[in-house]
Structure 1
């Protein structure tokens, strides 16, 4: 059984995770109203989203070094305080430049808040408790992208857009107060001097890749600029990888990826995060633009993803304990692939009960698979390697979540020309059919990654009952 302090810490980090993920996705719905209020174009509001995601992704690798240097408690408390203060700054902003500056500050706080919080939970946990603790932490991140469109719509309809950031203030104050009481002071280390070249190469590469994703998802895309940004960013990340593997004291020790379970989680989990983020983005577009549903009806159906997430949670740990990580990941990612393909075949005439059931299945599959990936990542990681493993895992997953919208947009655009290859006469629905089929292929590739895992992967964190133990 998990002791109360560890469970409380996990729930605290879960709350921070929800606050952070909600903040990264809620702005999309309010973009038109924000643009009118700030007297700028709707396209310019895209920078409000991108500046947060760019700063967030670029600075996560710094979390490991900062916690070694200053300790987890001061860094975590500072991160919550910065994120909350920046949220207040966002709510009070009256011009676009000020709002973007506050979003950058929010990204800085967010980049330290959840990765360091997760490290606090993992560092003091027994391997046998890891599965349940990660289940607590993961579900808010799954819920936020689903709730954000509806929450953003309600806030902008019945209040005003600053309240999207204002709701973070009481949440942040509560989180800071709880963290002050719960999180103990840990001994600080004397890490080597900060790897400045690693910081420059890694942060520039990750930030550039995030900005390239923004360019690819823009309504008026400049293919040359977007492609050049992506190529330069990839080159910077390649140079960063070469540097981190060769330097004596790297910013992040990539050698921890020799651990097979961590490597499988980073590679497979990253691809699956793209599917997880893309589904809730494409479904409302299909329901509203093609089926001509109202925003309320569309939002209500998409909420069945959340119902699936929460409904399966009590069974996730028993499933992993009973069957193991490899079989559960194979089945859940395969189910997700089939469900994504099936969503692409829905029509306006499909019975609403069947549509809701299918959306519910996607919620179940995403919840089980991401909990499994997030847990198995640290099953074989030694305590001294945890800061590096945590930074790598958090960076990979955050980048994938940020790339999900860009992948969705590109898949939808590709659906036009590729739709002519499908049987029948192309229609407005065809592009969405192709986009969901592409997501299904992403999920199938994750299934292949799961199949390649060792059958005993994650055995150290499982608690198999004697009745089902192997003779």
Structure 2
């Protein structure tokens, strides 16, 4: 039997391990979209019915992310992270062999249970393994899959549908998941709390059902099978449940999510700023394929290739992020970078049939670089002033808000486009591209407005994290 790895080597491999798990989860959120028409035909259902397959995964994430921190404290990060990868991999296998849409929905829920645990528990393990002075470099490394996955998803999905079989969309996770399980048991540290607080079951029911219902409303918004009154009623109910949780948490000694953490300036600003920023930029993975395929007439594979420069920028600039934050500080970086992102979104509104390919590639590369800086800055600022015993709860809150903001971002992009392009004109590429341009302008302005949140920061905020030592991750 080979000797067990030393703690030092395990520490160096940990970011790679967490990054692979993040990539598997983030890729899955978009790779299925390309195959929706093919799968609906294979399962003999209407394409509209496939919304339940997409929504079930999102709902599962929304329900189970809030308890991820408690689970890690109670059962240990290694066991929970391994179980998350195992559930996700098993769900992928079952999705790939599902014979009807009902089984596919059930298996997507199982996938979501695993996916809900991977991101927050992975972040929690990083925060507890690396000192605050090392955290930026580690988090900037594992933030890349969150950018790369959604960008590669449409391309990979298109290639699989064109050259293989739609079931391989799910089978692609199997070798990654199996390798991840082995590496987890070899290299993942096992952190757990000696005195775990009791689980807030009532809070889980209130918050979980409220967030799940809110995610569902966002998924079906614009669906003509439900009237405006019904959708507004569901929205009001979801907000009432979340509001009920807020009242419940204020009276609890150990609530499911400690909302009092928002009183910490760096945490509250990072989480709320992340939410409002993602309202603008979160819909880009939805809008760019529309712009390239419907507006410019590119194929799904060509569209995916045009999105890839964003991923390349995220990977090539990852080592610059710690230096930028150390030189300028969180406040200056987040305010200026958010404005730049908004302006870049507006520049996408200038992309048309006459735009040269090199200009599109350069714009995509620039957008990827600044998005990488934005995500890493927000994700690391979350933990700048969080005590060790509160990291699991902070990770759960940050991951829950992030998942909600992604849903809101896609919904905002879809609703904005629908507002500018009437149903009767969506088959006209010239009108469609104009509507997409208007959507980019609107979302760019919304992104710039989100800088208001980051003005709460002071010049020294986050220095515990930004004044880091060198850490080599590959």
- Is TM more than 0.5 here? yes
Aligned to 1:429: 433
C-alpha separation in 2, matches of 1:221 and 1:278: 23
C-alpha separation in 2, matches of 1:295 and 1:111: 29
The answer as to whether partners of 1:21 and 1:145 remain within 8 angstroms in 2 is yes
* Counterpart among 107, 125, 129 of residue 124 in structure 1: 129
Query: Is residue 2:241 matched to residue 1:241?
Result: no
Alpha-carbon distance, 1:187 to partner: 4.6
1:377–1:292 CA distance, 2 compared to 1 (3 A):
same
Q: Deviations over 1:220-262 (max 9, x none)?
A: 6633332222221111111111211221121121111111111
User: What secondary structure is seen at the aligned counterpart in 1 of 2:392?
Assistant: helix
Gaps of 5+ in 2: 1-6, 423-429, 470-474
1:135–1:464 CA distance, 2 compared to 1 (3 A):
closer
Aligned to 1:453: 457
C-alpha separation in 2, matches of 1:3 and 1:134: 18
* Counterpart among 258, 282, 294 of residue 287 in structure 2: 282
Aligned to 2:228: 223
Query: Is residue 2:370 matched to residue 1:365?
Result: yes
C-alpha separation in 2, matches of 1:221 and 1:360: 40
1:218–1:145 CA distance, 2 compared to 1 (3 A):
farther
Structure number with higher relative contact order (C-alpha < 8 Å, ≥ 6 residues apart)? 2
* Counterpart among 29, 52, 55 of residue 24 in structure 1: 29
Aligned to 1:469: none
Alpha-carbon distance, 1:416 to partner: 3.5
The answer as to whether partners of 1:274 and 1:400 remain within 8 angstroms in 2 is yes
Alpha-carbon distance, 1:30 to partner: 0.2
Write out aligned runs for 1:201-212 (5 A): 201-212=206-217
C-alpha separation in 2, matches of 1:121 and 1:464: 15
C-alpha separation in 1, matches of 2:73 and 2:395: 13
User: What secondary structure is seen at the aligned counterpart in 2 of 1:428?
Assistant: helix
Aligned to 1:102: 107
Aligned to 2:74: 69
* Counterpart among 274, 289, 297 of residue 292 in structure 1: 297
TM-score, structure 1 normalization: 0.93
1:96–1:464 CA distance, 2 compared to 1 (3 A):
closer
C-alpha separation in 2, matches of 1:282 and 1:317: 30
User: What secondary structure is seen at the aligned counterpart in 2 of 1:443?
Assistant: helix
Alpha-carbon distance, 1:464 to partner: 7.1
Aligned to 2:3: none
Q: Deviations over 1:56-114 (max 9, x none)?
A: 12211111221222222221111111111111111111111111111101111111122
Q: Deviations over 1:312-332 (max 9, x none)?
A: 212111111111111111221
1:221–1:148 CA distance, 2 compared to 1 (3 A):
farther
C-alpha separation in 2, matches of 1:96 and 1:49: 11
* Counterpart among 323, 333, 345 of residue 318 in structure 1: 323
Aligned to 1:251: 256
